[in-house]
Amino acid sequence: MGSTITEKILRDHCDEKNVSAGDFVLANVDKCLANDITAPISIEVFESIIEGMDRSVFDTDKIVLTPDHFAPNKDVASAEQCKILREFAWKYKIRNYFEQGRVGIEHCLVPEQGLALPGEVFIGADSHTCTYGALGAFSTGVGSTDLGVAMALGQCWFKIPESIKFVYSGKLNDFVSGKDLILYTIGQVGVDGATYKAIEFTGGIIDNLSMAGRFTMCNMAIEAGGKNGIIAPDKVTNAFLKSKGDFSYKEYKSDKDADYSNVIEFDCDELEPQVALPHLPENAKPISEVDGMKVEIDQSVIGSCTNGRLEDLRIAAKILKNRKVNPNVRCIVIPGTPIIYLDALKEGLIQTFLEAGAIVSTPTCGPCLGGFMGILAAGERAISTTNRNFVGRMGHVESEVYLASPALAAASAVKGYITSPEYL
């Protein structure tokens, strides 16, 4: 019996070479990531481990710190959180600490900087660290305590997950993107349908999907309960990495006779753009059904670690060009990183957003987690390109969040209710 890509990566990162799905392993970690919410706890754990010892972090080049959730600091408490990161980075000479002004939303920033590579074991004290599976890495979120230990020892315990193979075939229709694919998938399997499973995305649709679309899909693997999402590296992956620098890495692929707990196939020929209704990502419905409901919105958010990349902004700007945001809607656009912001500026996308009547924010997680830069009041509704729509996720517990792609978020901002560009 062969092995999956996830089994192979974890096996090569531990001492025991006969392990497979279901076994527990102490794996060597290639990268550790934390942000302004999760890092302070990890730092406290790290300091308790090395107390009384003359030692530093396991590798100053392999720790990434991103003050991105409440950046720029929204209040004294968030300023104190960021200060902890800053002083820790200075003390231990952490190379990949990104100060505000250079920091972006972590899961947009890390791939952009070439900090995640195929074949790596990448852990982060943020559940959407599974994003980097799009590059062929075993990438997953861990608790702040586990991350603190890993910063000291360079290792982390895992139970090697069983894998579910998703096969996407057919041809995508207009305005159907990676966001629609993953929302549809979660709608089919549920938010717990892949609990502690490796979700392996395959098929002709995936082969032809852009890196932005792949990042979006792997980012939301956790929304189906997955331990990690992963796509085997190919020419699209290699072209993306070549554009970021000169890297050496090992590519892994699943064997043809690999053992999967389940194989699920989707024919995407008739797939429509999707909208996840409150209050779970699994409440996905086709836009033809939601458009008929005429769900009025107060806010449209375009950005986040799920859909804040340049490709996403281009799609939104194309729809908003020569149009106006509905006077009853606040449209907030958040580029994922300063580089994405600058590229969008050079391409005229920022001008398009502003002329349409949208707000353009500095890169920040902000409204996605109900932090700031777009909090909802009681009774308000938002369509958002973010990844979660739990009760109170973006503000008041009596507000509602509808998840969708940048295309739908832009079109809805114009109409004032949830719709598709094809209905404009």
Same domain, 321 and 404: yes
Q: Is the residue at 132 inside a domain?
A: yes
Contact 244, 113 (CB under 8 A): yes
Same domain, 26 and 133: yes
Q: Is the residue at 270 inside a domain?
A: no
Contact 29, 149 (CB under 8 A): no
Same domain, 235 and 329: no
Q: Is the residue at 76 inside a domain?
A: yes
Q: Give residues with Cβ within 8 angstroms of 200, minimum separation 6.
A: 4, 5, 6, 163, 164, 165, 166, 229, 230, 231, 232, 254, 260
Q: Is the residue at 271 inside a domain?
A: no
Strands (E), 36-144: 63-66, 96-97, 121-124, 138-141
Dihedral angle, C-alpha 323, 326, 332, 334, nearest 10 °: -20
Same domain, 315 and 418: yes
Helical packing angle, 39-50 and 144-153, nearest 10°: 50
Same domain, 337 and 314: yes
Pair of tokens at residue 363: 């890169």
- Domain range enclosing 387: 276-423
Q: How many domains does the chain have?
A: 2
Contact 310, 340 (CB under 8 A): yes
Same domain, 119 and 163: yes
Same domain, 250 and 117: yes
Q: Is 110 left (phi over 0), alpha (psi -120 to 50) or beta?
A: alpha
Q: Is the residue at 269 inside a domain?
A: no
DSSP state of 251: -
Going residue by residue through the chain, which has 424 residues, state the pLDDT in tens, using 9 for 90 and above. Answer: 899 999 999 999 999 889 999 999 999 999 999 999 999 999 999 999 988 787 899 999 999 999 999 888 889 999 999 999 999 999 999 999 999 889 999 999 999 999 999 999 999 999 999 999 999 999 999 999 999 999 999 999 999 999 999 999 999 999 999 999 999 999 999 999 999 999 999 999 999 999 999 999 999 999 999 999 999 999 999 999 999 999 999 999 999 999 999 999 999 999 999 999 999 999 999 999 999 899 999 999 999 999 999 999 999 999 999 999 999 999 999 999 999 999 999 999 999 999 999 999 999 998 988 888 999 999 999 999 999 999 999 999 999 999 999 999 999 999 999 999 999 8
Residue where a domain terminates, one of 207, 240, 264: 264
Contact 366, 386 (CB under 8 A): no
Same domain, 116 and 139: yes
Same domain, 259 and 284: no
Q: Is the residue at 206 inside a domain?
A: yes
Pair of tokens at residue 52: 């009384």
Same domain, 251 and 302: no
Dihedral angle, C-alpha 303, 280, 229, 212, nearest 10 °: -20
Same domain, 137 and 162: yes
Same domain, 259 and 281: no
Residue where a domain terminates, one of 235, 264, 293: 264
The strand order across the sheet containing 31-35 reads: 96-97, 63-66, 31-35, 121-124, 138-141
CA atoms of 370 and 393, how far apart (whole Å):
6
Beta bridge partners of 230: 200
pTM (predicted TM-score): 0.95
Strands (E), 137-235: 138-141, 155-159, 163-169, 198-202, 228-230
> What is the distance, to the nearest Å, from the Cα of residue 251 to the centroid of all Cα atoms in its chain?
22
CA atoms of 4 and 204, how far apart (whole Å):
19
CATH (domain of 229):
3.30.499.10
The pLDDT assigned to 383 comes to 98
Evaluate the CA torsion angle 307, 250, 194, 288 in order and state its sign. positive
Residue where a domain terminates, one of 264, 284, 311: 264
Q: Is the residue at 407 inside a domain?
A: yes
Q: Is the residue at 350 inside a domain?
A: yes
Dihedral angle, C-alpha 185, 215, 144, 79, nearest 10 °: -120
- Per DSSP, the chain holds a count of helices (H) and strands (E) of 15, 18
